[in-house]
Amino acid sequence: MTFSGEFFAFMALALVAIIGGVLLLNLNKVVHMVVALIFTFVSIAGIYILLSAEFVAAVQVLIYSGAITIIVLFGIMLTKPYDDSEAKTGKWRKILVFLGVVGFAFAVYLGIYHFDIQQVPTTLHEDNVLQIGKALYTKYIIPFEFVSVLLLAALIGAIILAKREDKEADKQ
């Protein structure tokens, strides 16, 4: 195994992504959870940059770190607030999450340590925006449009549910 700047950058970004995911599961305040989610998304965008997929990294930052995170935050804010009446799991939950992360890391280490992949030169990173555009608007145009209609229906449904809860709160 050779140690290079790219290797250390990957390890740092992967560590930030894992820490962000674990913090997302362990934090109690919604805004703190969203910040942990943003750290995870931005570190994944950094990994895309290491893979010479700059367009996908930019989309990752714009779509996920921006739009999806804000939609999740609004969705959570439109629902009922956090209820403190539930029993706190405390120490056991943290121990189980830590053991799960360590077990997953160990399984990944065992799975890829002796995995021999032959390196072949490719041209995937050349004109990747053009390749993505051609694939998206030719081969995947129907799923692309379906996802846009699905997201619009979800947004309209969230607005209707929020209005319905407001009317029920006004009656009481």
User: Residue 14 has what pLDDT?
Assistant: 93
Distances (CA, A) of 12 to 24, 31, 64, 71, 109: 18, 24, 20, 28, 16
pLDDT of 79 reads: 65
> Taking the CB of residue 79, how many other CB atoms lie within 10 A of it?
13
Q: Is there a contact between 57 and 46 (Cβ–Cβ < 8 Å)?
A: yes
pTM over 0.85: no
Task: Please give the Cα distance from 100 to 94 (Å, whole number).
Answer: 10
Per-residue pLDDT of the chain (172 residues; tens, 9 = 90+): 678 888 899 999 999 999 999 898 888 887 788 889 889 999 999 999 998 888 889 888 888 877 777 777 776 776 665 555 555 667 888 888 889 989 988 888 888 777 777 777 777 667 778 888 888 889 999 998 998 899 888 888 877 877 776 666 667 6
